[in-house]
Structure 1
Amino acid sequence: MLRPIWNGAITFGLVNVPIKLYSTVRKRNVRFNQLRKSDGCRIQQKKVCATDGAEVANQEIVKGYEVSPDRYVVVTDEELSALSPRASRNIDIQDFVNLEQIDPIYYVQSYYLVPDKGAGKAYSLLLAAMKKSKKVAIARFVLRNKEYLSAIRPAENMLSLSTMYFADEIVSQSELEGLPEPEAEPGDRELTVALQLVESLSNNFEPEKYKDEYRAKVLELIEDKAEGQTVVVEKAPENPKGKVIDLMAALEASLSAIKKDNHNKKSNERKRKAHA
């Protein structure tokens, strides 16, 4: 059974809705330890002085912010603690906005919000109001001594919360080089074929059909090696660089391949049904 990672309350106006915060994901990363190649012993990380190479104990380490090359301002934990956001158990709703106004680039991590004991009615009221109005709540809350901007939105029969980046953390497109010039606009014929290609690849979003193939292969490799099997590693093919392509020819070839693949799938399905 999952345990909540945080308990608090959603507040808007004078309404208070006690909730529990749960993580929405279980990360499936494959973690490796660093070992010495000769005998497989674990490698430990040590903190050393960049000047004399001496190891430095944790109690001797302070925080420093580099204001110019090799010039630091030292800040104490007590000074930072005094500036930390005031500990609070409230998720304070500040605004209700339309979901389509939020660019997904702002989202960081998502959580489930579950009503705490006795909060079912108030929780259901907020959920129903947000569904009916088709609005998303923008709120602030403090988690592990850090203040987060967040978006609360209905997720089927419950509420979810997504932490968000602040506006000044988002890289502006004006800072990027190499964006398409006006003269790079596609021609009508190219756009028509591109739209046909998009339509041919269009489907309903089914998240379960997308698998982490790399992780599966890594776990299979580990299992084989743990069982003493000899693994032969094939050299990965090199990516072609600087190859100039005929855009129209590539679009038409892609569309033709998809149509052929769809035809083969339908043909195989008919044969399967005929033999059933």
Structure 2
Amino acid sequence: MPRSIWTGAISFGLVTVPVKLYSAVNRKTVRFNQLNGKTGSRIAQKRVDASTGEEVAYEDLVKGYEIAGDRYVVIEPSELESVQPEKTKTIDIEDFVDLSDIDPIFYDHPYYLAPGTGGAKPYRLLLEAMRETNKVAIAKVVIRQKESLVAIRALPDHDVLEMATMLFADEVVDPERLDDIPEADDVKTNARELDIAKQLVESLSGEFEPGKYRDTYREAVLAMIEKKAAGEEIVVQEVEEEAAPVPDLMSALKASLDAVRKTSGDGDAGGDGAAEKPAARKRAAAKPKAGAKPAASKKG
């Protein structure tokens, strides 16, 4: 049973909505400990003075911000407290925006918001209003002494509000700063190449089903650990890497489309770009079920 990690209220105009905050993810990363290969014992991490090589006691540690090579500004705890945001228990909504206006790159960590004591009705009212208008609330909240920018939206298939912490604009790298992105005028594509590429995209299109995607690497690592713990020998096979020839772009597009259509039973992809669009995987075009809610964009 998940436990709430924060309680407070959403400030919605003059209305307050008592809420409880829950983490929406349970990370499944396989974590390893560092061991001494000779003894099998865990490695202890120690705080060592770089100039003397001696271990430093915890009570002697201070915070320092590097302003130049080996030059630091030491900050006292009381000085940090003087600039920390005011501790409040409210999620202050500042704006409502269209869901499509938010680039998924700004999303950070997802949470669920559940109604707190006495908050069932205003919670439901806010959820339904946001769902009907397809709007997302942009708000600020202080959690664990840090002010965060957050986005709140009504999940399309569940009667619950989702809150995601967001990156601030100056934390996102401007893609214009990337040197490896060619100018549009420097790379030319022709209509036939584009048409086949679009057909390939259509052939691979369908509804998003999160459950069909699995972390196969994590599963393989856990299976290997289980076998080794049971005493089985792990055989490591050396794989020789061979440089694969770079195929012609048009040939690669047609071969890819042929492979997809053969798998879906749609026939050959040969001929001109006017070939009819495959329908085998276009489940999204099916009629919606009765009472189904319209899907909203999800973050990536």
- Which of residues 226, 232, 235 in structure 2 aligns to 1:232? 235
Provide the C-alpha distance between the structure 2 equivalents of 1:240 and 1:21, rounded to a whole number of angstroms.
Answer: 51
Instruction: Find the counterpart in structure 2 of residue 200 from structure 1.
Output: 203
Equivalent residue runs for 1:30-45 within 5 Å: 30-45=30-45
Q: Percent identity among equivalent residues?
A: 52
Is the deviation greater in 49-58 or in 159-168? 49-58
Equivalent residue runs for 1:148-159 within 5 Å: 148-155=148-155, 156-159=158-161
Instruction: Find the counterpart in structure 2 of residue 9 from structure 1.
Output: 9
Instruction: Find the counterpart in structure 1 of residue 252 from structure 2.
Output: 250
Instruction: Find the counterpart in structure 2 of residue 185 from structure 1.
Output: 188
* Aligned residue-pair number: 263
Provide the C-alpha distance between the structure 2 equivalents of 1:19 and 1:35, rounded to a whole number of angstroms.
Answer: 44
Cα pair distance change 1:203/1:235, threshold 3 Å: farther
Counterpart of 2:260 in structure 1: which amino acid?
Answer: I
Q: Which has the higher helix share?
A: 1
Instruction: Find the counterpart in structure 2 of residue 100 from structure 1.
Output: 100
Q: TM-score, normalised by structure 2?
A: 0.85
Instruction: Find the counterpart in structure 1 of residue 283 from structure 2.
Output: none
Provide the C-alpha distance between the structure 2 equivalents of 1:185 and 1:208, rounded to a whole number of angstroms.
Answer: 38
Cα shift at 1:239: 7.1
Q: TM-score, normalised by structure 1?
A: 0.92
1:141 aligns with 2:144: no
Provide the C-alpha distance between the structure 2 equivalents of 1:56 and 1:203, rounded to a whole number of angstroms.
Answer: 58
Structure 1 residue runs of 4 or more that deviate by more than 6 Å after TM superposition:
none
Structure 1: 5+ residue stretches without partners: 265-276
Provide the C-alpha distance between the structure 2 equivalents of 1:130 and 1:237, rounded to a whole number of angstroms.
Answer: 55
What secondary structure, in the 3-state scheme, does the structure 1 residue paired with 2:200 have?
Answer: helix
Cα shift at 1:216: 0.3
Cα shift at 1:235: 2.8
What secondary structure, in the 3-state scheme, does the structure 2 residue paired with 1:245 have?
Answer: coil
Provide the C-alpha distance between the structure 2 equivalents of 1:237 and 1:195, rounded to a whole number of angstroms.
Answer: 35
Is the deviation greater in 254-263 or in 105-114? 254-263
Instruction: Find the counterpart in structure 2 of residue 61 from structure 1.
Output: 61
Instruction: Find the counterpart in structure 2 of residue 73 from structure 1.
Output: 73
Provide the C-alpha distance between the structure 1 equivalents of 2:243 and 2:140, rounded to a whole number of angstroms.
Answer: 47
Provide the C-alpha distance between the structure 2 equivalents of 1:12 and 1:209, rounded to a whole number of angstroms.
Answer: 38
Cα pair distance change 1:236/1:216, threshold 3 Å: farther
Counterpart of 1:218 in structure 2: which amino acid?
Answer: V
Provide the C-alpha distance between the structure 2 equivalents of 1:153 and 1:238, rounded to a whole number of angstroms.
Answer: 47
Counterpart of 1:115 in structure 2: which amino acid?
Answer: P
Cα shift at 1:259: 1.4
Instruction: Find the counterpart in structure 2 of residue 216 from structure 1.
Output: 219
Counterpart of 1:106 in structure 2: which amino acid?
Answer: F
Provide the C-alpha distance between the structure 2 equivalents of 1:76 and 1:249, rounded to a whole number of angstroms.
Answer: 64
Cα pair distance change 1:216/1:149, threshold 3 Å: same
Cα pair distance change 1:236/1:213, threshold 3 Å: farther
Provide the C-alpha distance between the structure 2 equivalents of 1:172 and 1:120, rounded to a whole number of angstroms.
Answer: 41
Cα pair distance change 1:257/1:111, threshold 3 Å: same
Structure 2: 5+ residue stretches without partners: 267-300
What secondary structure, in the 3-state scheme, does the structure 2 residue paired with 1:38 have?
Answer: coil
Cα-Cα RMSD: 1.5
Provide the C-alpha distance between the structure 1 equivalents of 2:12 and 2:220, rounded to a whole number of angstroms.
Answer: 48
